[in-house]
Amino acid sequence: MDGLQTGATGVRLQCLRLVPSSWDCWTRTHPGISFDWTCTPDYYQRIMKTRRFPGLGAAGRRLVVVVLVGGCSSLTNAPSVSHDGGREAATHDGTGPGESVSYSDGAGNQKDSGSAVLVDARPAEVGDDTAAPAPGLDAAGGFGGAAGKDGGGGTAGQTGDALLASPDANMPAVDGRASQPDSLVVVDVALVNDRPVSVPDGPGEGAGSDKNTPKGDVEIVDTARPADVASTPLTVNAGPDQTICDGSSATIGSSAQGGTRPYAYAWSATPSCRNCITAPTSAQTDVVPSATTTFTVTAHDSLGAVATDSVTVTVVDVTAVSGPDVSVDPTAPVSLGTPALPGYTYAWTCDRPTCALSSLTTAQPTANPTLSTKYTVTVTSPEGCVASGSTMVWVNLSVSTTPKDGEPAYPKSASLLVQFSAGVLASSISSDTVMLNEALSGNSVAFKYTYDPSLNALVITPTGANYNPAVAQYQLTLVGGATGIVSNDPVWPQRLSDDVWVLFTLATTSDLTVPTVVSSNPASLSTGVATNASVVVTYSETLDPTTVTAANFAVSTGVTNVTGALSYDAKASTITFLPAAPLATLTTYIVRVSGIKDLSGSTANMMTWTFTTGK
């Protein structure tokens, strides 16, 4: 027969030569099963084909049990068997070798004998898992043969009814007992774990004559349908490639399609990244790669089909390179940043009121700070990724000294002067950071000092008896570094980059030279002077900064002094007066300088001159 169907359950088909009376018997005794006969009467094939029925899904995976049982008239038109199985085993006890029960076997007299064999007829690539007893079979039982055309009548094995009812409600239970094998019984039983399972032979004694089979078999086959092998192939989609900013996350993946549910998922990354996949066994997951990474998803369906797909997540690493920290002397220029990248934008800021930058929007501006400053650049990539970075520009605390290093004949009567490039913290000046010693012996020389914060000037006056020309050489030491003299800047205090040493030799004669004015600007009797001009006076030698005061240096209109700030540059021996407000136009101003002394105490002559502003 061809085209056997049991309700919603497809079964394995066989084509047998059966007389019409056998068909009628079958339909009478098994009304729940219908047939579509397409076989020719002369066609004989053990198993012709397996028909599979679509649309049943995983629930449609079944086994078919084919058993010869009695209940109707004997088979007719059965051909003779091509071997003598009955003679071979007639003298045995029923447990010897025999042939699979089919209509062509001669079934001899036998008691309770038989065997049950479960056969997985699916393609090899479909099977998996491990064998286990099938439900509905009694391992101790079996199915006995029954009388056939070439053998005498017999009784089927009484333990054959161990086969239970099908899970399909439309399929009745089957009793293995029978006396005449004239019909086929097809019973639907679920296969366990997709593997063959064997059931031992039942007990009994073999008996019979030629062409009798001493025992019968039960054959169980898997009738997996197209739905089990998926009507559409299994596919999985990892999603489109993405570009993200460093430190951001991306969502990738979606549910698999086709195949047979349920699905299982496994994600991997190349290059591997630890903890960058938040849900490695889900269809969709968030990923947080630190570098460009390809993520691959592998999907398995319930029948073992496998599908893979990959997605690349490109990570834009915006490194806001503003450059390394640097140390420079005051007013020394320094280049910041790194070369510009195409499509990137740059924005610079600093922690000072004035950044002293050549540009705030270029990748590599030039800085010229007078105080230590922290510069920050914000970089934006073409994708909109933003990063920031900072560079610290340390402006060194520098000094100018009188005497200068290597001075050969410094007057004994003159004080020593140290002028800092910025105001220093008074508490950082002490005998631990300022020292005067005999250069050869290292003996210390006593001194006293004063510090003028308005002029950043430290005046040192030696008082020790061992400070005299008889000693070959002296050394003034100013301690720098982390434990040395520090500026009073509350933001980024400046320090001497290293210790400062000044070696000098005392002169054998006293300094009696009086300081004189070398130049003045505006010059005496100048006209048309700008209203924003400063007054600058340069002397012939280093002055005692303590004498550069508003009482000794004044600019007035005759009766009213102009307010402003005085500064002194010891290195250039220059006094500068900066008016607090612009000067009046077309006005004559008077400059009076008196009481100015050098470090030896010699007083400069009083000087007075005038200049007139323009419009």
Domains and CATH numbers, the chain: 1-229 (no CATH), 242-316 (2.60.40.1080), 326-395 (2.60.40.10), 399-506 (2.60.40.1220), 517-613 (2.60.40.1220)
* pLDDT score of 489: 94
Q: What is the pLDDT of residue 465?
A: 94
Round to whole Å and give the CA distance between 467 and 482: 30
For residue 380, give the nearest of 343, 336, 335 by alpha carbon.
343
User: Rounded distance, CA 487 to CA 119, Å?
Assistant: 95
Beta strand 607-613 with 526-529 is parallel
How do residues 43-76 score in pLDDT, each as one tens digit?
A: 223 222 332 323 333 333 333 333 333 333 233 3
- Please name every residue paired with 287 in a beta bridge, in sequence order, or none if there are none: 250, 277
Rounded to an integer, the average pLDDT of 137-147 is 35
Higher pLDDT, 591 or 20: 591
Nearest CA among 61, 54, 60, 41 for reference residue 1: 41
Cβ pair 33, 142 in contact under 8 A: no
**What are 555-602's pLDDT values in tens digits?**
999 889 999 999 999 989 999 999 999 999 999 999 999 999 999 999
Average pLDDT over residues 86-102: 36
For residues 374 and 325, give the distance between their C-alpha atoms in angstroms, rounded to a whole number. 9
Helical (H) or strand (E) element with 285: strand 285-287
Helix (H) or strand (E) holding 27: helix 20-29
SS (H, E, C) 380-441: ECCCCCEEEEEEEEEECCCEEEECCCCEEEECCCCCEEEEECCCECHHHCCCCCEEEEECCC
3-state secondary structure of 344: coil
The C-alpha angle with vertex 122 and arms to 120 and 123, in degrees rounded to 5, equals 130
526 three-state secondary structure = strand
Amino acid at the residue 20: P
Q: How far apart are CA 57 and CA 157, in angstroms?
A: 36
Q: How far apart are alpha carbons 450 and 426 in whole angstroms? A: 10
Confidence of residue 493 (pLDDT cuts 50, 70, 90): very high
- Inter-residue contact 181 to 147 (CB < 8 Å): yes
Q: Which residues are CB-neighbours of 450 under 8 A, at least 6 positions away?
A: 458, 459, 546
**How many CB atoms within 10 Å of residue 373?**
21
Alpha-carbon distance of 137 to 520, in angstroms, equals 124
Report the residue count for the chain: 615
For residue 460, which of 505, 415, 511 has the smallest C-alpha distance? 415
pTM: 0.52
Q: 12-15 and 386-395 as β-strands: parallel, antiparallel, unpaired?
A: unpaired
Q: What is the DSSP string of 60-87?
A: G--EEEEEEE-SSPPP-SPPPPSS-HHH
Q: What does the pLDDT read at residue 509?
A: 85
Whole-number Å distance between alpha carbons of 449 and 428: 13
CA distance linking residue 353 with residue 490, whole number of Å? 14
For residue 533, pLDDT over 90 is answered with yes
What token pair was written down for 64?
A: 């078919």
Kindly tell me if the per-residue pLDDT of 428 is higher than 50. yes
What distance in Å separates the CA atoms of residue 108 and residue 602, rounded to the nearest whole number? Answer: 149
Is the pLDDT reported for residue 334 higher than 70?
A: yes
How many Cα atoms occupy the beta-carbon half-sphere of 167 within 13 Å? 15
**Average pLDDT for 118-122:** 32
Whole-number Å distance between alpha carbons of 120 and 222: 5
Token pair, residue 395, equals: 């402006």
pLDDT at 380 over 50: yes
Query: Is the distance from CB of 303 to CB of 230 less than 8 angstroms?
Result: yes
Q: What is the pLDDT of residues 550-562, one digit of tens each?
A: 999 999 998 899 9
- The residue with greater pLDDT, 213 or 290, is 290
How far is the C-alpha of 271 from the C-alpha of 583, rounded, in Å?
A: 72
Residue 116 CA: distances (Å) to CA of 124, 188, 376: 22, 15, 85
Residue % of the chain over a pLDDT of 70: 62
Average pLDDT score over the chain: 72
Mean pLDDT computed over 448-452: 95
CA separation, residue 437 to residues 433, 475, 503, 504 (Å):
13, 5, 10, 11
Q: Say whether pLDDT at 92 is over 90.
A: no
pLDDT of residue 231: 66
Mean pLDDT on 208-219: 36
The predicted model gives 100-126 an average pLDDT of: 33
Q: Which contiguous run of DSSP H or E holds residue 23? A: helix 20-29
Q: Which of 570, 596, 582 is nearest to 515 (CA)?
A: 596
Question: In whole angstroms, what is the distance from residue 604 CA to residue 416 CA?
Answer: 18
Please tell me the distance from the alpha carbon of residue 290 to that of residue 244, in angstroms, as a whole number: 10
Instruction: Give Cα separations from 388 to 193, 309, 316, 409, 603 (angstroms).
Output: 60, 36, 14, 55, 57
Determine the pLDDT at residue 305: 96
Q: What angle do CA 448, 451, 454 make, to 5 degrees?
A: 160
CA 359 to chain centre: 35
Reported as a single tens digit per residue, the pLDDT across 238-289 is 999 999 999 999 999 999 999 999 999 999 999 999 999 999 999 999 999 9
Instruction: Tell me: pLDDT of 418 over 90.
Output: yes
29 CB-near residues (< 8 Å, 6+ apart): 71, 72, 183
Type and span of the H or E element at 448: strand 447-452
**pLDDT at site 322:** 83
Lowest-confidence pick of 53-62, 366-375, 403-412:
53-62
Residue 494 Cα distances to 88, 96, 116, 330, angstroms:
113, 106, 98, 10
Which strand ranges, in their side-by-side order, compose the sheet holding 293-300?
242-245, 306-316, 293-300, 264-270
Instruction: Report the percent of the chain where pLDDT is more than 90.
Output: 57
Q: Are strands 198-202 and 114-118 parallel, antiparallel or unpaired?
A: antiparallel
Q: pLDDT category, 330, cuts 50, 70, 90?
A: confident
Query: What is d(CA 94, CA 206) in angstroms, rounded to the nearest whole number?
Result: 4
Residue 193 has pLDDT above 80, yes or no: no
